[in-house]
């Protein structure tokens, strides 16, 4: 099951109490105070782990409480510190304050760690309070409580390429053809109910990650259909493959479909409208009205976007599309690496 939103509660361990104690040893009649300090409570850390791709494991385990520190002991012995705990989340997880909605942290790389709840400080024993005028204090300090916080976790998949389009546009069939991903494929709308990731082998140890986003319809940015629940997974992709079914069996106008999806992307996030996009005409093996293909091609060219016609069923045009996507992705990555240097040089 794919879960991309959940709430969790985290709490640092309470600090251990200090202790009131006095030395009671032979030949030391007035040994003085010897109460040790309490140990610090454990903290809760969140850590990005690339072996996870869903928040399902946190949906059914929402509370994470670190161990408390042990109390101090006599002979100035400090209590043991509580153990930290680590909560693992998928790469791409965003952490929001559950009350204010403020974005607190964004995990973009595997191995990143973030302190979610700090453990409480241990209390001082009575030996800390001894002075020249109060040589035998009979009081100690209690440990402080650990932090308690509630977070809203949201997962945004990290992929190089995102497949977008109307339901049944051929997204799942394409990703199953070019990668090892095996999403559900059937001849009815909204077959794909959750995003799927596929790794495409480009040869020479070069790969690209492709995300199959569930089908969008008009009003998706307002929640229509599967709506904005999955639109956010497109936000982090560097390149969009916009799939449009050109077979007459779809019963829809190809240009209208193309324009509708682009309007929804823009309405959801202005930056998505500026994202590099390749227009892909699908199911050309079932094309019986060539004008449907040509009208879409002309519309894509008018927008200055590359256009490819493919059939995932027969494999026609698929290899050329993958190569073109890989080339454009390399250009995008290269320009992203150059920009920081240019900004530094200009300064």
How confident is the model at residue 313, as a pLDDT?
A: 87
How confident is the model at residue 140, as a pLDDT?
A: 94
How confident is the model at residue 180, as a pLDDT?
A: 66
Residues 138 and 189 in one domain: no
Three-state secondary-structure class, residue 220 = helix
Residues 131 and 180 in one domain: no
Number of domains comprising the chain: 2
Residues 189 and 73 in one domain: no
**Closest C-alpha among 213, 219, 178 to residue 196:** 213
Strand partners of residue 119? none
Report how far residue 176's alpha carbon sits from residue 186's, in angstroms, rounded to the nearest whole number: 13
How confident is the model at residue 26, as a pLDDT?
A: 77
Residues 269 and 175 in one domain: yes
Residue ranges of the chain with per-residue pLDDT less than 50: 1, 183-193, 217, 219-227, 340-347
For the segment 240-280, what is each residue's pLDDT rounded down to a tens digit? 999 999 988 777 889 999 998 888 888 888 888 888 999 99
How confident is the model at residue 306, as a pLDDT?
A: 94
Report how far residue 164's alpha carbon sits from residue 170's, in angstroms, rounded to the nearest whole number: 10
How confident is the model at residue 188, as a pLDDT?
A: 38
Which residues span the domain enclosing 11?
1-155
Write down which residue in 121, 155, 189 finishes a domain.
155
Residues 78 and 217 in one domain: no
How confident is the model at residue 195, as a pLDDT?
A: 67
Pairing status of strand 148-155 against strand 5-11? antiparallel
Residues 117 and 205 in one domain: no
Write down which residue in 111, 140, 155 finishes a domain.
155
Buried b (16+ CB within 10 A) or exposed e, 57-88: ebeeeeebbbbbbbbbbbebbbbebbebbebe
How confident is the model at residue 341, as a pLDDT?
A: 45
First vs last C-alpha separation in the chain: 49
Residues 108 and 198 in one domain: no
0.75 exceeded by the pTM? no
Residues 124 and 196 in one domain: no
How confident is the model at residue 205, as a pLDDT?
A: 67
Residues 145 and 196 in one domain: no
Write down which residue in 132, 155, 178 finishes a domain.
155
**Closest C-alpha among 171, 153, 170 to residue 162:** 171
Domain of residue 262, CATH code = 3.40.50.300
């Amino acid at each position: 099951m794919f879960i991309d939103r959940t709430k969790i509660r985290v709490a640092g361990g309470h600090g251990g109490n200090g202790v009131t104690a006095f030395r009671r040893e032979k030949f030391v009649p007035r040994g003085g105070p010897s109460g040790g300090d309490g140990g610090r409570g454990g903290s809760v850390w969140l850590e990005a782990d690339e072996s996870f791709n869903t928040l399902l494991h946190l949906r059914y385990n929402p509370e994470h409480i670190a161990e408390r520190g042990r109390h101090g002991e006599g002979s100035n012995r400090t209590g043991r510190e509580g153990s930290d705990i680590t909560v693992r989340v998928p790469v791409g997880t965003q952490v929001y304050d559950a009350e204010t909605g403020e974005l607190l942290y964004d995990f973009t790389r595997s191995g990143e760690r973030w302190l979610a709840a700090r453990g409480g400080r241990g209390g001082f024993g009575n030996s800390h309070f001894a002075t020249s005028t109060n040589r035998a204090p009979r009081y100690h300090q209690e440990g402080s409580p650990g932090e308690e916080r509630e977070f809203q976790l949201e997962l945004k998949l990290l992929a190089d390429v995102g497949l977008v389009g109307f339901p049944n546009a051929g997204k799942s069939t394409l990703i199953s053809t070019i990668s090892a991903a095996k999403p559900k494929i059937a001849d009815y709308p909204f077959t794909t109910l959750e995003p799927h990731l596929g790794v495409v082998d480009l040869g020479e140890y070069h790969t690209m990650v492709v995300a199959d986003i569930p089908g969008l319809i008009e009003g998706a940015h307002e929640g229509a259909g599967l709506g904005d629940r999955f639109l956010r997974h497109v936000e982090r992709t560097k390149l969009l493959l916009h799939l449009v079914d050109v077979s007459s069996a779809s019963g829809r106008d190809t240009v209208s479909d193309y324009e509708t999806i682009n309007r929804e992307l823009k309405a959801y996030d202005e930056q998505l409208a500026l994202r590099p996009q390749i227009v892909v005409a699908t199911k050309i093996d079932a094309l019986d009205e060539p004008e449907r293909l040509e009208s879409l091609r002309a519309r894509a060219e008018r927008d200055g976007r590359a256009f490819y016609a493919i059939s995932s069923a027969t494999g026609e045009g698929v290899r050329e599309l993958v190569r073109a996507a890989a080339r454009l992705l390399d250009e995008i990555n290269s320009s992203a690496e150059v920009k920081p240097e240019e900004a530094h040089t200009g300064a």
